[in-house]
Amino acid sequence: MTKIVICGVGGQGIILASDVLSLVAMDEGYDVKKSEVHGMSQRGGSVISNCIFGKKVYSPLIGQGEGDILLAFEKLEALRRLPYLKKKGLLIVNDYEWPPSTVASGKAVYPIDIIQTLKDKTENLVHVNCVKIALKLGNIRCTNIVLSGVIAKYLPFKQETWLSVIDRRVPKKTVEINQAAFCEGFSNVACL
Span 95-154, contacts to another protein by CB under 8 A: 99-111, 117, 121-122, 124, 140, 153-154
Q: Sort strands 124-128 and 2-9 into parallel, antiparallel or unpaired.
A: unpaired
Asked whether position 39 contacts another protein by CB under 8 A, the answer is yes
Site residues for another protein, 171-190, by CB under 8 A, read none
Q: How far is the CB of 8 from another protein (least distance, A)?
A: 10
Instruction: Give the CA distances from residue 110 to residues 95, 104, 106, 132, in Å, rounded to whole numbers and listed in that order.
Output: 14, 9, 10, 20
DSSP letter, residue 139: -
d(CA 17, CA 14): 5
Q: Which stretch binds another protein (CB under 8 A): 26-34, 142-150, 171-179?
A: 26-34
Largest separation between any pair of C-alpha atoms in the chain: 49
Q: How far is the CB of 171 from another protein (least distance, A)?
A: 13
Contact with another protein (CB under 8 A) among 12, 14, 73, 89: 89
Q: Which stretch binds another protein (CB under 8 A): 85-93, 142-150, 173-181?
A: 85-93
Q: How far is the CB of 123 from another protein (least distance, A)?
A: 10
Q: Given its phi and psi angles, is residue 65 left (phi above 0), alpha (psi -120 to 50 degrees) or beta?
A: left
Contact with another protein (CB under 8 A) among 68, 115, 129, 188: 68
Single-letter residue type at 43: R
